[in-house]
Structure 1
Amino acid sequence: MQLVKLIYFAQGWYLAFVGKPITSHKAHAWQYGPVYPLVYKAFPGAGSRPLDGLITDKITAEPYRANFTDDEEALIEWIVDEYGKLHAFDLSRRTHADDGPWKAAIDRSGTYSEIPDSDLQSYFRQFVRDDA
């Protein structure tokens, strides 16, 4: 649960700062919060246990590798520093804001619907200072 929430925050903040997504995968508004289905499915049965492996390609069995720019890596490090120390339930509470993208997607299209990047960008943009 913590990993998918950290990806959600990285996506939202990168959209707010840079105006483009950090991942091509879309968040979905599942019953208990935003989820990136590919990541969720890559660790079946993990629950609240710490993750101890890499996501692997189902065909080649090779570890999945993402190529991030220096700016993307810097943002990911910032996300881990800012949010990584929070308990998964704390992160979940933050993603469930009444005015947030997860709630808007649920209200608009129902459970398991896609959360538009434009909603994430608008929501996180309101927290970006003009001098940032």
Structure 2
Amino acid sequence: MADIFDVAAAIDERLDRDAGAGKLCALLYLAQDWSLAWTGRELFADEAEAWERGLVFPIVRNDIKYDGETRLRAGDPARLSESERLMTEAVVDHYGHLSGADLSAITHS
């Protein structure tokens, strides 16, 4: 099973830019959702919480520091298995162009 920070690093790498906390959490949620739908297994063990402004992974959200840019505990996309990497890439390719607000609307529905 993947580590959530490795998946987050793979998302950031695939986007080739800093996703921001809200967008990152939404993409993590969607990656988890796709993994459950396609494989019947969780991509990572961490659970999301429903907050007023959207779904949040507290372990990720609490790790982000605000000083003008998002900084996240070091994750390594290379630690993902091929299937975990492909799952993450598919989610980013499908949803990565959307804004945080658009992703929030999707995860709220």
- Write the letter of the residue equivalent to 2:65: P
Instruction: Please identify the structure whose Cα radius of gyration is greater.
Output: 1
The answer for the alignment partner of 1:34 in structure 2 is 55
Question: What is the DSSP-based 3-state SS (H/G/I as helix, E as strand, rest coil) of the residue aligned with 2:50?
Answer: strand
Give 4+ residue runs of structure 1 displaced > 6 Å after superposition: none
Q: Percent identity between the aligned chains?
A: 33
Q: Which amino acid aligns with 1:90?
A: D
Q: Paired residue for 2:43?
A: 22
Q: Which amino acid aligns with 1:11?
A: Q
Identify the residue that residue 95 of structure 2 maps to in structure 1: 83
TM-score, scaled relative to structure 2: 0.72
| 1:56-71 equivalence runs, <5 A | 63-65=74-76, 67-71=79-83
More helix by share: 2
Where structure 1 has 5 or more consecutive residues not aligned to the other structure, the ranges are: 56-62, 98-132
Structure 2: segments with no counterpart, 5+ residues: 1-21
Secondary structure of the 1:71 match is: helix
Could you tell me how far apart the structure 2 residues matched to 1:50 and 1:90 are?
21
- Equivalent position SS for 1:16: helix
| Residue 32 of structure 1, CA deviation | 1.1
CA distance in 2, matches of 1:50, 1:18: 34
TM-score, scaled relative to structure 1: 0.60
Residues in 2 aligned to 1:23 and 1:50: alpha-carbon distance in whole angstroms: 25
Give the paired residue count. 87
Kindly report the root-mean-square deviation, in angstroms, between the aligned alpha carbons of the 2 structures.
Answer: 1.8
